[in-house]
């Protein structure tokens, strides 16, 4: 495989195609600038295991037989204007009860690797991380020429339609100099728990216990105005953690985020005090806090459902027509710090305005589907073909709802006025 990628590089770029099957990988696969490593992907959200209409197997599977360790090698390293597309990764030596540390499954080094040719436009798309310890690391690699933190940067990274079970850190992004795109990135323990005996599927409760004690869904640092759409994380200690980067502070906007069953849904340790961060049309659930903001910046929640305390400077708005009053962090809070005006997100899709609101869950309860052991929204009713996105119907990972793909496709193509 590496020889094929080198031949692709020497030809000036192109695609290396991996047909469906299982490929044993014992060292880092380097996808050079202008090259794409593409496989035959089976999207488990569209074609869950057990679906009689789905093809057999998981498509193109990279079986990672790499040295373990926190500083272990990455499985895939992606250069500039390059990508990995349509792959499933699996670590046969991973243990849910006593996880084995491994390096990043996908590493996007930017300037840190070789030089300017790898600086921008790296893509990770249509990828399933079945049981990674660390998922996607962007600008997490030290510069291979010994240059300083500024020479580890990247620009315009694209992470789209990535899903899976990642134990320690789902994805981390540092040192982004311009707007990247993260779209439909979903981390949930049900993917590995429902994978079957062929992939050593563990008990879901064992996975949940470990990730809830040790795991983080997203670690985001000095990314300048990356756009985050459709991020999902469940059963982590922290869903989204914003930290200080080597060059600047975090600024970003999240739309349609869904962070559930966490201790702290959003932990803001550092953000730019001029712009802060914002969430719109999202769900944030934390047993300790929905938002814990210890930074000098603010967090703005618009049309967002929260469960848990709001700590620090948090502005809570009903919709785009409302602006916060100067000097006020949001609505009155109860003595525990939780908002005293919690609200349910309304249905925004025109095709679904008549739908009934999603019923509330009893505190501490968890709804699980029988499909691969993953959570599914309690009142999820998939829309018929040709209608717009289902609004309050949130087809969670593991449902057999093919409408999820239609919603993703529609979100890219509809006009701004019509989109959900």
CA distance 314 to 184: 25
Strand-pairing partners, residue 381, are none
Classify 3 in phi/psi space as left (phi over 0), alpha (psi -120 to 50) or beta. alpha
Contact 260/266 with Cβ under 8 angstroms? no
- The dihedral sign for the CA sequence 90, 92, 97, 99: negative
Name the DSSP letter for residue 148.
-
* pLDDT given for residue 148 in this prediction: 66
Distance CA 167, CA 294 (A): 25
CB 322 within 8 A of CB 345: no
Check residue 7 and give its pLDDT: 97
The string of DSSP codes covering 95-118 is: -SSSPPP--EEEEE-GGGSSSGGG
The residues near 384 (Cβ < 8 Å, ≥ 6 apart) are none
Instruction: Kindly give the parts of the chain with pLDDT less than 50.
Output: 329-381, 383-420
Q: Buried b vs exposed e over 316-345: b needs ≥16 C-beta within 10 Å?
A: bbeeeeeebeeeebbbebeeebbbeeeeeb
Q: Rounded distance, CA 384 to CA 381, Å?
A: 9
Q: Which string of b and e fits 184-207 if b means at least 16 CB within 10 Å?
A: bbbbbbbbbbbbeeebbbbebeeb
Tell me the pTM.
0.78
Torsion of CA 384, 387, 391, 394, to 10 degrees: 40
Give the pLDDT of residue 373: 39
Q: Which of 277, 283, 278, 276 is nearest to 297 (CA)?
A: 276
Residue 321 is predicted with a pLDDT of: 63
Domains of the chain are 2-248 (2.160.20), 348-420 (no CATH)
pLDDT for 111 equals 86
pLDDT at 275: 86
Asked if 407 contacts 394 with a C-beta cutoff of 8 angstroms, the reply is no
């Amino acid at each position: 495989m590496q020889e094929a990628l080198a031949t692709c590089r020497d030809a000036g770029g192109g695609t290396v195609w991996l047909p469906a099957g299982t490929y044993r990988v014992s060292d880092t696969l380097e996808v050079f600038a202008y090259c794409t490593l593409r496989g035959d992907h089976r999207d488990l959200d569209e074609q869950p295991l057990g679906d009689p209409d789905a093809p057999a197997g998981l498509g193109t599977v990279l079986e990672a037989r790499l040295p373990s360790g926190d500083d272990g090698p990455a499985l895939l390293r992606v250069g500039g204007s390059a990508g990995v597309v349509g792959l499933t990764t699996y670590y046969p030596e991973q243990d849910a009860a006593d996880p084995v540390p491994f390096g990043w499954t996908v590493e996007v080094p930017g300037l840190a690797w070789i030089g300017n040719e790898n600086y921008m436009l790296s893509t990770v798309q249509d990828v399933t991380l079945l049981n990674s310890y660390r998922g996607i690391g962007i600008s997490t690699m030290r510069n291979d020429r010994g240059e300083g933190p500024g020479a580890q940067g990247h620009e315009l990274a694209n992470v789209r339609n990535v899903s899976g079970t990642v134990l320690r850190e789902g994805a981390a992004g540092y040192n982004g100099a311009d707007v990247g795109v993260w779209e439909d990135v979903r981390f949930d323990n049900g993917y590995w728990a429902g994978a079957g005996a062929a992939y050593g599927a563990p008990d879901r409760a064992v996975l949940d216990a470990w990730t809830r004690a040790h795991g983080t869904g997203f670690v985001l640092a000095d990314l300048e105005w990356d756009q985050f759409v459709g991020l999902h994380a469940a059963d982590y200690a922290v869903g989204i953690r914003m930290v200080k980067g080597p060059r600047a502070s975090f600024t970003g906007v999240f739309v349609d985020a869904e962070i559930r069953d966490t201790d702290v849904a959003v932990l803001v340790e550092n953000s730019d005090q001029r712009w802060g961060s914002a969430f719109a049309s999202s769900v944030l659930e934390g047993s300790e806090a929905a938002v814990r903001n210890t930074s000098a910046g603010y967090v703005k929640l618009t049309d967002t459902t929260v469960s848990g305390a709001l700590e620090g400077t948090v502005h809570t708005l009903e919709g785009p027509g409302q602006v916060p009053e100067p000097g006020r962090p949001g609505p009155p809070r109860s003595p525990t710090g939780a908002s005293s005006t919690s609200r349910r997100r309304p249905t925004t899709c025109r095709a679904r305005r008549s739908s009934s609101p999603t019923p509330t869950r009893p505190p501490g309860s968890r709804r699980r589907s029988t499909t691969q052991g993953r959570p599914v929204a309690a009142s999820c009713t998939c829309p018929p073909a040709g209608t717009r996105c289902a609004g309050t119907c949130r087809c969670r990972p593991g449902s057999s709802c093919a409408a999820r793909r239609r919603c993703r496709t529609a979100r890219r193509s509809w006009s701004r006025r019509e989109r959900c």
